[in-house]
């Protein structure tokens, strides 16, 4: 058998130059590792991480924690698992967490905090930018009364559906609830998109919150993983919650290596995804009766109701995959999407939409 390098074994989507390659804009979770990431896997020192002996996992946890200005980190299999571990560690059974009604923790994590943690949820309407107002949050904190669940935690998210929350917005909310004894967890699945857009270090963005889930498998391009960061004692307790959920992994360094590679190489380049999203939004903005909005790496188009389903199907027929959401269709840029892909998407949508509307 001849020996091969990782470059021989794996071709990456960004190396494909075919004019007709599929353009997958459903999410930034669809990226595939490139050869640099595969090389990082091949050379990663590993050990049993449940015993704390995987050097690569330990390095990833320390690197993520330091990037976010927190004492410690914990490597988890997914954003959902990280958020759940955070909620189970912050709260006891019957405690209440406050969350925005469009936040992933509430809408898209299978109700895990209620099912597995016995937590009650206080749902608040988010504004058009995905934010919560301090007054609204304060009013939702329950009085100390035996009739009520105990308000324990405020859950925030950044970015929210692509929209950025500023350090001021976050710290105003955090200060407001801290004085009532609540803690704050931030779902930072796309925190780095917010940091790059604002041009502020991620640590500044999360300085006022207690814990953060930082996903490696969204815009940062790793195949798997999220690091939960926070105070050392919290992370020590979170490790037990991770074990409880079956999330203790063994030679997880082969996954953590991708995360380390992503933190080193793929943060600053998010600006390219943002520029591509802006190009797409601008290219579509002159189409009659198509509402277009965009921030960071997400573009939403709101076609006429009768054209929605057909547009998606016809785009798929042209090899362009977009999100299923309604009424707006979501398109997400990422590291496997280049400028020429965006130009093809703009041309295709302009043509298809004018046929559908004629
Ligand atoms: C804002 C947000 N939080 C959390 C998650 C959950 O991440 P995962 O799919 O890794 O469980 C996602 C997934 O897309 C997300 O968009």
**Where are the domains positioned within the chain?**
6-30+269-357, 35-265
**Rounded average pLDDT over 130-149:** 97
pLDDT reading at 90 higher than 80: yes
Instruction: Name the least confident of 103-112, 193-202, 301-310.
Output: 301-310
pLDDT tens sequence across 224-268: 999 999 999 999 999 999 999 999 999 999 999 999 999 999 999
CA angle 152, 154, 158 (to 5 degrees): 155
Instruction: Name the least confident of 5-14, 168-177, 277-286.
Output: 5-14
In this predicted structure, what is the pLDDT of residue 5?
40
**Rounded average pLDDT over 154-171:** 98
Q: Which atom of ligand 1 is nearest to the CA of 82?
A: 11
pLDDT reading at 8 higher than 60: no
CATH number of 6-30+269-357: 3.90.1150.10
**Rounded average pLDDT over 260-278:** 98
**Rounded average pLDDT over 65-78:** 98
**Rounded average pLDDT over 315-322:** 97
Are 6-30+269-357 and 35-265 the same fold in CATH? no
Q: How far is the CA of 222 from the centre of ligand 1 (A)?
A: 13
Q: Is 189 in the pocket of ligand 1 (CB under 6 A)?
A: yes
Q: How far apart are CA 15 and CA 65, in angstroms?
A: 33
**Rounded average pLDDT over 122-132:** 96
Instruction: Name the least confident of 17-21, 35-39, 139-143, 303-307.
Output: 17-21
Q: Which atom of ligand 1 is nearest to the CA of 80?
A: 11
Chain center to CA of 48: 27
pLDDT reading at 333 higher than 80: yes
CA angle 214, 61, 206 (to 5 degrees): 40
**Rounded average pLDDT over 28-32:** 98
pLDDT mean across residues, the chain = 94
Contacts of 234 (CB under 8 A, 6+ apart): 72, 89, 90, 210, 211
Q: Is 82 in the pocket of ligand 1 (CB under 6 A)?
A: no
Q: How far is the CA of 286 from the centre of ligand 1 (A)?
A: 32
Q: What's the pLDDT band for 55 if we cut at 50, 70, 90?
A: very high
The 10 Å CB-count burial string (b at 16+, else e) for 119-157 is bbbbebebeeebbbbeebbeebbbeeeeeeebbbbbbbb
In this predicted structure, what is the pLDDT of residue 80?
98
In this predicted structure, what is the pLDDT of residue 326?
83
- Cβ atoms within 10 A of the Cβ of 349, count? 25
The fold of 35-265 is 3.40.640
pLDDT tens sequence across 212-234: 999 999 999 999 999 999 999 99
Q: What's the pLDDT band for 307 if we cut at 50, 70, 90?
A: confident
Q: Is 80 in the pocket of ligand 1 (CB under 6 A)?
A: yes
Q: Is 78 in the pocket of ligand 1 (CB under 6 A)?
A: yes
Residue 297 CB-half CA count within 13 A: 31
In this predicted structure, what is the pLDDT of residue 13?
45
Residue 134's nearest CA partner among 77, 178, 172, 186 is 172
**Rounded average pLDDT over 51-74:** 98
Mutating to test ligand 1, I would choose from 112, 218, 227 the residue with most ligand atoms within 8 A of its C-beta, which is 218
Q: Which residue has the higher pLDDT, 64 or 11?
A: 64
**Rounded average pLDDT over 20-45:** 96
In this predicted structure, what is the pLDDT of residue 325?
82
Q: Is 247 in the pocket of ligand 1 (CB under 6 A)?
A: no
């Amino acid at each position: 058998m001849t020996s091969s390098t990782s470059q021989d074994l794996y071709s990456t989507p960004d190396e494909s130059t075919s004019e007709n390659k599929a353009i997958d804009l459903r999410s930034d979770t669809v990226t595939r590792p490139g050869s640099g990431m595969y090389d990082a896997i091949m050379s990663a020192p590993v050990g049993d991480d449940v015993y704390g002996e995987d050097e690569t996992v330990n390095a990833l946890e320390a690197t993520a924690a330091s990037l976010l200005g927190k004492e410690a980190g914990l490597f988890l299999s997914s954003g959902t698992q990280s958020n759940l571990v955070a909620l189970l560690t912050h709260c006891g059974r019957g405690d209440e967490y406050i969350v925005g009604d469009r936040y992933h923790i509430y809408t898209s994590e299978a109700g895990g905090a209620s099912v597995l943690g016995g937590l009650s949820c206080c749902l608040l309407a988010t504004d058009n930018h995905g934010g919560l107002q301090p007054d609204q949050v304060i009013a939702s904190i329950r009085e100390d009364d035996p009739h009520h669940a105990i308000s324990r935690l405020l859950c925030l998210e950044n970015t929210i559906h692509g929209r950025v929350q500023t350090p001021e917005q976050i710290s105003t909310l955090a200060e407001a609830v801290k004085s009532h004894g609540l803690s704050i967890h931030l779902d930072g699945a796309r925190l780095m998109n917010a940091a790059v857009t604002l041009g502020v270090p991620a640590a500044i963005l999360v300085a006022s919150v207690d814990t953060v889930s930082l996903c490696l498998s969204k815009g940062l391009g790793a195949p798997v993983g999220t690091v939960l960061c926070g105070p050392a004692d919290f992370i020590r307790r979170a490790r037990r919650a991770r074990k409880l959920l079956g999330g203790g992994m063994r030679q997880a360094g082969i996954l953590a290596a991708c995360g380390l590679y992503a933190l080193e190489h793929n943060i600053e380049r998010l600006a390219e995804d943002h520029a591509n999203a802006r190009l797409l939004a601008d290219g579509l903005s002159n189409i009659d009766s198509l509402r277009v909005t965009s921030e960071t790496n997400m573009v939403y188009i709101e076609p006429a109701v009768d054209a929605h389903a057909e547009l998606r199907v016809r785009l798929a027929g042209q090899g362009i995959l977009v999100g299923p959401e309604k009424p707006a269709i979501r398109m997400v840029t990422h590291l496997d999407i280049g400028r020429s892909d965006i130009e093809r998407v703009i041309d295709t949508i302009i043509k298809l939409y004018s046929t559908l509307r004629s």
